[in-house]
Chains A and B, each alone.
Chain A
């Protein structure tokens, strides 16, 4: 692939000097990250696809306004994608209730308390789509600065110094944000687990009623 080994700075300079096809390399470099960011905010594949595509179109159109704060273009793409997804994200995070069955709820609880989970094992647990969906929704509903610090660190692979530059904070403040963010994330997940447990309980009670009285389900759930 052309330009593959070049830095973001070199590629942007090429685009600005008229080699617009160099932007395709930036697209290839960051598409997955932007898509995952959008998906983490919306938990919806179609929305994530639209947001990711629009992020790159806007970035190309506004490249003239862009200035590097660090060596990577990612923080800027992150900001564009977040601006595009923030309204949708709030809507989804506020309303999404992810359905988990009791063994999965217990697995998550025991992992959060002691890093142990019997069935599924911790590796399996963290790879389950429902678990990832719940965690993404929980991240999306965190306070903005905590959410950004977590996303920059875990999705963007940015160093603490780069995050500090981007967020205009000190390195110590970013460490503190990450710390508080992860504590808040744990609380948020706990809350969602309790909610999922109530729903699962209702479902189980409903299933019990089906055996004797099928109308019982509707009465209880409504």
Chain B
């Protein structure tokens, strides 16, 4: 039962912007959820979501990913150029069959 109520509490907590919503604590305390479990949940949420993400780290990572994706796109283009078309492959097979191409 406590697990059910805790899950509902976590669900509501995740929608709130303030780290320690008093009204939510009161509501769930009345439903019998222990303070320590609500406190641990609020602490976990605040700690996990609270870390600031440096803009420089994001940009650096975005550059690395951008280079990788461009490189992959170039590679794909090169492979497409190298690969003969379906028509070309049929013509080549046909010439081979006629023994006019080694």
Contacts and interface: CB of A to CB of B under 8 A. Distances in A.
B10 interface: yes
Contacts, number: 168
Contacts of A61: 68
Contacts of B49: 36, 154-155
Given A36-B53, A126-B19, A182-B44, A115 B39 contact: yes
Interface residues of B, number: 46
Interface stretch (B69-77, B81-89, B91-99): B69-77
A21 B70 CA distance: 7
Contacts of A111: 20, 39, 43
Contacts of B19: 122-123, 126-127
Interface in A164-222: 172, 175-176, 178-179, 182-183, 185-186, 189
B61 A49 contact: yes
Of the candidates B29, B57, B66, the one having the most CB atoms from chain A within 10 angstroms of its own CB is B57
Interface in B47-64: 47-51, 53-54, 57-58, 60-62, 64
Interface of B: 2-4, 6-7, 10, 14, 18-20, 22, 25, 29, 35-51, 53-54, 57-58, 60-62, 64-66, 68-70, 72-73, 76
**Nearest 7 CB-CB pairings of A with B:** A122-B20, A135-B47, A126-B19, A126-B46, A20-B69, A53-B61, A49-B57
